[in-house]
Amino acid sequence: MNGQRHATVVAAATLALTLTPLIGIFEGLGWIFPVMLTIALIATAGSLMRAAGRGQGLQTLAMGATLVVILTLGFGDGTGLLFLVPLPATFEHWGVLAQEGVGAIIVNSPPVEATGGIMFLTVVGVGVVAILHDMFVVGLRTPALAGLTLLTMYLVPVSVAPEATAWFWFILPAVAYLWILGDDNLKRVSAFGHRFTGAGQLVGRSFPSPMARTARWSAAGFIAVALAVLAVVPVNTSGLIDNVADGIEGGESYGLGDVNPWAQLSGSLTRPEAVDVLRVTTDDPSPRYLRMHVLDELTSDGFAPNEYNGTQNLDELPEPEGDMYTAQIENLQLEAPVVPVYGSPNGLDIDGDWRVDPDTGVIVGDGSDMGDVDEYTLQYSEPAPDAETLAAAGGMSSDDERWTPNTEHPDVPELTDIVADATAGATTVHEKVLAVQRFLSVSNGFRYSLETIDAGNDEAVLDFLETKQGYCQQYAATMAWMLREADVAARVVVGLSQGSRVDANQWVLTSHDYHAWVEVYYDGPGWVTFDPTPAASVPGSVSFPWSNEPSDAVDPETEPSENEVPTDDPSAPETDASGQTIPPEGGASEGPSADAGAESDGGAALPFHPGWLSLLLLLAVPFLPVLWRGALRKRRLNPRNLTAATAWDEAMDLALDYGVSIPDSYTPRQAAGVLATAAPSAREAAKALGSAMALYRYSPRGADPAGLADALRDLHTALDKTSPTQARYRAMFWPASLVAKVGAGRAEQSARLSRRSARTTDRVRSALRRRRRSNNRDKPGVTGRA
């Protein structure tokens, strides 16, 4: 096995060692085979190209092509040509998988099943890192940069789910990095020739270096200290995906464990395929919405839930009002730190430690999560105020301690003007609510669409009011914000809609049933639900009779159920006898709405945020030396800085970059001769540079820099053309002249420190040295000096 093959095996093995943190991310070990196969095939492709004598460019191209073939074969769903060559349909399928994977990452918490979109994103990420890792370790022989790829493979799972990865997984990436550095150092030392011991005995390559023992102990000590520091230093951080998802929704941490309400909502609605979340069996003939999160804190970043301080025991749930219902709820795939509940809960039988927030009615876990709950039983009532009662009721008193938290809002002059126009003439709370609801209606040009920015901040609200296009998040956040502008206490609620009826008393709620609506406070009735989102666009939507004008309300005596009263909204769907939405002709919609599905052309667009660009910084690292070297060359060739000396410095750096050896003892004319031999087509340019430098050194008149910039460009071009491919890439991505400058700078700094230390030591010794006493101090010396 030659040196390059050995380095290829080392690169692949060290990258495989760094994948161990993925054990805490995936369920089981089924992910190991496809990931390891990807690393092995990419390494084999690079090794074969190197064996054929091809340069780094073709090596990288071959490894990239191998990754594409792996993705087509494993994730192409049979759309590729001969299952190996991707076609346009293959790329479309990959886009769907990528969307599914991002949605699953946002919504689910580890461990997750190693299938579908998450596995696709994993193989893509590992493949790209494997290509860069092989290029650093073998192609460019820059093993120090391999630390970036190893760090990436370690940090991604740790950042996504820090609680699912153990601290000791850090040991294997550290050992892998030391293995790469040690192997490369052994090869470089062996290149000098035979090895001898201090006694002059010839030894083989595997004989340990006298410093190997010290290096091993130093490395072990460093790892031990690092782990000890990590073990004792308190940390309080969240995962990278959590931070990015929070950045999409406003950049805050909501104190709700691992689920962000906005991220859970948008991630669920944009899933390509619906996933069953809950199964509800209830004696309620037409259940309404399941409440989960209450977002009552409004800043310029949008609505967010509070910290739920001051929670109470579940036995302090409020007394029931009206008819009581019982719901048996089976958890299929829901993971959240809050319990979904109907209406006003009166009793809850659930495993775990749960408490209720008296201000919002949210039942939040005290260290418990819905992921640990299989099923629970809920007793609840559904208050149903009529429109006349709300029309006569006032709002929340300004003396109420809840007034400020539920009415405060950022000052947005543009929104203030819009609210003033929309609520002109409205004097009561109910009139303002109905005015804002009419303003956001279909009749005013607003329409439902998932193709919008996932945020509720001031800019997104103004954008929604301008484009009149959004989904439940935009509708709910905008209505609540507008009501607060009109001095009406309002908040946003995130949960699940009615879902789909299975039989007479059973309902199934899927990931496409996540929904957001508004609650408005009335003096007497309390918090009342309003849903501004067009009903035809929300699967399992429920109509609320009190959201109509009082004069249009239907007599309660003539209505069999408060949930089945039709509204005047032209977008309201038809309902059956129980209030369940009747699907449109042609079958049920495939997504959150048929219209939204048609507009999104088969799937919602992948959410984008500048926070994701931080993940691309790794790809920019190999180009930093290129930019540094180019900036140095540009500065030297600047007419204001150009002299024979700067031109000669650039020529010597070019020689160093392209591996042209020029001894330091050579004169400028001798060095120019070596350059002319290395680049025959630039003979005249090399001669001109050497002559200019000789004049600069020895002539009192100096040298004229005219034409030296063109000579350097000719020399650069000639050296690049005559050098092997590998040398060209090394000169571009890892210029030896930069390495030499960094080394020289460090050596000079070390020398300065040594000189300062020596001077300080001499001063201390002089100050402490006692004056010598002479036996002849009372007699004159031979020289006449005392």
In the predicted structure, residue 757 carries a pLDDT above the cut 80? no
Percent of the chain with pLDDT over 90: 6
Place of tokens 């906005």: 262
Which of 127, 131, 141 lies closest to 3, judged by CA?
141
Cβ partners under 8 Å of residue 31, min gap 6: 22, 114, 119, 122
Beta strands in 197-289 (DSSP E): 202-203, 276-282
Average pLDDT of the chain?
76
Question: Among residues 407, 440, 457, 405, which one has the least CA distance to residue 262?
Answer: 457
Least confident of 127-141, 297-311, 414-428, 736-750: 736-750
* Residues paired with residue 202 on neighbouring β-strands, in sequence order: 196
Q: What is the pLDDT of residues 690-743, one digit of tens each?
A: 898 988 888 878 888 888 888 888 998 888 888 888 888 888 888 888 878 776
The one-character DSSP state at 136 is I
Provide the token pair at 64. Answer: 């990239």
Residue 211 has a pLDDT of: 55
Which of the pair, 351 or 203, is modelled with greater confidence?
A: 351
Residue 606 reports pLDDT greater than 60 = no
Q: Tell me which of 147-161, 188-202, 405-419, 594-608 is least confident.
A: 594-608
Burial 223-238 (b: 16+ CB within 10 A, else e): eeeeeeeeeeeeeeee
pLDDT at position 547, please?
Answer: 79
Q: Are 679 and 653 in contact (CB under 8 A)?
A: no
**Where in 442-531 does DSSP place strands (E)?**
447-448, 469-470, 490-496, 500-503, 506-510, 514-522, 526-530
Least confident of 97-101, 577-581, 655-659: 577-581
Using DSSP, state whether 503 is helix, strand or coil: strand
Give the per-residue SS3 of 380-426. Answer: EECCCCCHHHHHHCCCCCCCCCCHHHHHCCCCCHHHHHHHHHHCCCC
3-state secondary structure 10-46: HHHHHHHHCCHHHHHCECCCCCHHHHHHHHHHHHHHH
Banded pLDDT at 306 (limits 50, 70, 90): confident
Q: Output the pLDDT for position 522.
A: 92
| pTM higher than 0.85 | no
> What is residue 340's predicted lDDT score, i.e. its pLDDT?
92
Q: Say how far apart CA 254 and CA 781 lie, in whole Å.
A: 90
pLDDT digits (tens, 9 = 90+) for 440-472: 988 888 888 876 654 455 577 888 888 888 888
Helix (H, G, I), strand (E, B) or coil at 518: strand
Average pLDDT, integer, range 385-404 = 88
**What is the model's pLDDT at position 236?**
41
Count Cβ atoms below 10 Å from residue 134 Cβ, excluding itself: 28
Average pLDDT over residues 562-566: 39
Sequence-separated (6 or more) residues with CB below 8 Å from residue 278:
290, 329, 330, 331, 332, 334, 340, 496, 499, 508, 509
Q: 3-class SS at 600? A: coil
Per-residue confidence at 33, pLDDT binned at 50, 70, 90?
A: confident
Q: What is the pLDDT of residues 57-69, one digit of tens each?
A: 888 898 999 998 8
Binned at pLDDT 50, 70 and 90, residue 207 comes out as: low
Q: pLDDT at residue 385 above 90?
A: no
- Residue 260's pLDDT is 65
pLDDT attached to residue 772 = 55
Report pLDDT digits (tens) over 155-191. 777 666 555 555 566 777 777 877 887 777 777 766 6
pLDDT at 561 > cutoff 60: no
- List of residues 6+ apart from 72 with CB closer than 8 A: 80, 83, 84, 85, 86, 90
Query: Looking at the chain, how many residues does it have?
Result: 786
Residue 781 pLDDT exceeds 70 = no
pLDDT at 568: 44
Per-residue pLDDT, averaged over 27-56, amounts to 84
User: Is the pLDDT score of 84 beyond 70?
Assistant: yes
According to the per-residue pLDDT averaged within each range, which of 53-57, 390-394, 589-593 is highest?
390-394
Q: Is 515 helix (H, G, I), strand (E, B) or coil?
A: strand
Q: What is the mean pLDDT of residues 731-757?
A: 73
To the nearest whole percent, how much of the chain has pLDDT over 70?
72
Write b or e for each residue in 618-628: b if 16 or more Cβ atoms lie within 10 A of its Cβ, otherwise e: eeeebeebeee
Least confident of 209-213, 301-305, 326-330, 629-633: 209-213
Query: Per-residue pLDDT for 338 more than 70?
Result: yes
Give the Cα separation of 158 and 555 in Å (integer).
59
pLDDT category at 199 given cuts 50, 70, 90 is low
Q: What angle do CA 492, 508, 514 make, to 5 degrees?
A: 25
